[in-house]
Amino acid sequence: MARLFLGLDSSTQSLSAVLIDLDTRRLVGEASLGFDAALPAYGTRNGVLRADDPRVVHAPPLMWVEALDRLFEDLRRQGAPLREVLAISGSGQQHGSVYLNAEAERALKGLDPSRPLALQLAHVFARATAPIWMDSSTTDECREIEAALGGPRATAEATGSAAFERFTGPQVRRFAKTQPEDYARTARIALVSSFMASLLAGRLAPIDHGDGAGMNLMDIRERRWHPRALEATAPDLLRKLSPLAAPWAVVSPVARYWAERHGLNPAALACVWSGDNPCSVVGLGLVRPGDVAISLGTSDTYFGTMAECRTDPAGEGHVFVAPTGGYMSLICFKNGSLARERVRDLYGLDWAGFSSALVTTPPGNHGKLMLPYFEPEIVPRVLVPGVRRFDLREDDVAGNCRAVVEAQMLSMRRHSAWMEVRPERIFATGGASRNREILQVMADVHQCPVFRFEVTNSAALGAALRAAHAWHLHAGPPLAWEYVVGGFCEPVPGSEIRPRPETAAPYRDLLRRLAAVSA
């Protein structure tokens, strides 16, 4: 009998599953269910419900419940060997919160395999909808929490991040302020991750340290609820929160419901879930401190791993607990592909033309520099957009192409320096990572080799690998993370790009220059 592990990903628009065989390193099953199309009765668009106020973005948690039942039906219909699954873990969109009433625990424990899940859980919510990470209605609450904790820097130092609108603490505070009665009848506040884990376990599941770090409520170093953050957020909060657990904790065997209704092995372990970003870090194979992934998508995202906990004094980057037990950063640069495309289009180029401009200009660009804030920027915080050029003429086509990419890579280096970890390997993903010339600038600026990864479901894969790791810890003998990810998370063959040592000095100079003009 094969030894299989199941990873689920409850993301904004869909619920998906990957089934892996750890011994053969093969993907043996996959399924995905898009919420809008599969469950139209909930009325979501792109998985979410919008209010008149554009800052308010919620989702119906009962839809996620029904989706889980449906996904297992799909897997079964495909003939996926669910009886051979030893453990299940999952990944949830981060920060979103589910408000459960006092009935929830009893309902979860008494799930009846002969009836659909959603019918049995429709009455367990103290709030019909769950605010998700796209909600930005809590600016006042963020400032109130930060004021109580001594400012953004102190908040980041305590909880891993300054207060952000989408983080759970500010969301809970807004709910408690605006709907005090509903808050009072809330017996348990779950994250998307811990809520989904609870369905599989048939009991209220803990929140793992990785997703707990996205709440502005957890002491990032001690990995327990931060009493002052709780107090700054809402009354009586400790009683409403689940306990925290290590990312590899097992909740229990799966509930009888899943064995009897969907044919899972009753001994299969339901493991704690984590957030999608922590899961992706493992799904990309970032298991050694010094491993970095840079996603060049619509925005650019920098994920770094670190053994020690350090926080961003500027309060711009986030620190989460990684599934390996170390720490990880998430730093989001909004002007990513957006800015590269704007420059490309300004000069009427295609990507081939843009790449040749990079080839024909020297690293360091003769000191020419651009601040490419076509849109307001998250890191560094730039509220009023604008492009500034230094010793760079607007009609210098090739100079501008190089300048935008160098500015972005230097900004990543500058705004990840607080981690005090020199990247040892960078894994590049996202649409623009197919551009070798852009990756050469990345390698030179960071003075570190860059490997390209093609990934489609890193969060679900990461969850499956976390299940495999947790099962071995539980059933013994434990496996090293490098062994767990090996063969699943490999770079595109031949994609390594080495840094050129002679480019180190010009980039040191340009970094200094960038710091001077940004001050």
| Closest separation in Å from C-beta 256 to ligand ADP | 39
Show the binding pattern over residues 412-431: x = contacts ligand ADP (CB under 6 A), - = does not: ------------------xx
Pick from ligand XUL, ligand ADP, none: which does 94 bind, CB < 5 to 8 A by kind? ligand XUL
Nearer to ligand XUL, 257 or 453 (CB): 453
Q: Which range of residues in 68-76, 162-170, 216-224, 432-440 is near ligand ADP by CB under 6 A?
A: 432-440
Cα separation, 242 vs 224, in Å, equals: 11
- Output the residue with the shortest Cβ distance to ligand XUL: 94
Nearer to ligand ADP, 234 or 426 (CB): 426
CA-CA distance, 149 to 135, in Å (whole number)?
Answer: 23
Closest distance to ligand XUL from the beta carbon of 277 (Å): 5
In three-state secondary structure terms, 110 is coil
Taking CB under 6 A as the criterion, the residue among 337, 447, 495, 518 binding ligand ADP is 337
| Residue position matching structure tokens 């996202």 | 430
452 binds, among ligand XUL, ligand ADP, none (CB under 5 to 8 A by kind): none
The torsion angles phi and psi of 147, rounded to 5 degrees, stand at: -60, -40
Applying CB under 6 A, among 30, 74, 105, 341 the residue interacting with ligand ADP is 341
**Does 432 engage in binding with ligand ADP (CB under 6 A)?**
yes
Binding residues for ligand ADP, total number by CB under 6 A: 12
Q: Are 405 and 438 in contact (CB under 8 A)?
A: yes
Task: Decide whether 341 or 375 has the Cβ nearer to ligand ADP.
Answer: 341
Interaction pattern, residues 347-376, with ligand ADP; x per rule: CB under 6 A: ----x-------------------------
**Tokens representing residue 439 in the block:** 């990756």
Residue pair 111/255 in contact (Cβ under 8 Å)? The answer is yes
**DSSP conformation letters of 309-374:** ----TTS-SEEEE-TTSSEEEEEEESSSHHHHHHHHHHTT--HHHHHHHHHHS-TTGGG-EEEEES
> Which stretch, 98-106, 215-223, 335-343, 404-412, contacts ligand ADP (CB under 6 A)?
335-343
Distance CA 459, CA 9 (A): 6
Binding site for ligand XUL (CB under 6 A): 93-95, 133, 166, 275-277, 330
**Residue 74 found at the interface with ligand ADP (CB under 6 A):** no
Mapped onto helix, strand or coil, the DSSP state of residue 135 is coil
The token pair that represents 444 in the structure block: 């030179």
The residue from 81, 116, 151, 297 that contacts ligand ADP (CB under 6 A) is: 297
Residue 429 CB, shortest distance to ligand ADP, in Å, is 7
> Is the CB of 283 or the CB of 326 nearer to ligand ADP?
283
297 binding partner (options ligand XUL, ligand ADP, none; Cβ < 5 to 8 Å by kind): ligand ADP
Cβ atoms of 205 and 98 closer than 8 Å: no
Instruction: Pick the closer one to ligand XUL by CB: 68 or 255.
Output: 68
Closer to ligand XUL by Cβ: residue 330 or 409: 330
Partner from ligand ADP, ligand XUL, none contacting 435, C-beta within 5 to 8 A by type: ligand ADP
Out of ligand XUL, ligand ADP, none, what residue 253 binds, judged by CB under 5 to 8 A for its kind, is: none
Q: At what angle do helices 397-414 and 351-360 cross, to 10 degrees?
A: 80
Angle between helices 337-346 and 397-414 (to 10 degrees): 170
Non-local (6+) Cβ contacts of 94 within 8 A are 133, 191, 192, 193, 211, 214, 275, 276, 277
Of residues 276 and 437, the one with the C-beta less far from ligand XUL: 276
> Which two structure tokens, joined as six digits, stand for 502?
């002679």
Please pick, from the candidates 298, 356, 447, 518, the single residue that binds ligand ADP as defined by CB under 6 A: 298
Question: Tokens representing 452?
Answer: 């390209």
Q: Shortest Cβ distance from residue 341 to ligand ADP (Å)?
A: 5
CA distance 20 to 316: 36
Shorter beta-carbon distance to ligand XUL: residue 141 or 276: 276
Q: How far is the CB of 94 from ligand XUL (least distance, A)?
A: 3
CB of 166 to ligand XUL, least distance (A): 5
Q: Which helix (H) or strand (E) holds 419?
A: none
Q: Which is nearer to ligand XUL, 213 or 268 (CB)?
A: 213
Q: Burial, 43: exposed, middle or buried (Cβ in 10 Å; 0-12, 13-18, 19+)?
A: exposed
* Phi and psi torsions of 327, nearest 5°: -120, 160
Retrieve residue 414's tokens. 């500058």
Residues that bind ligand ADP (CB under 6 A): 297-298, 337, 340-341, 351, 430-432, 434-435, 438
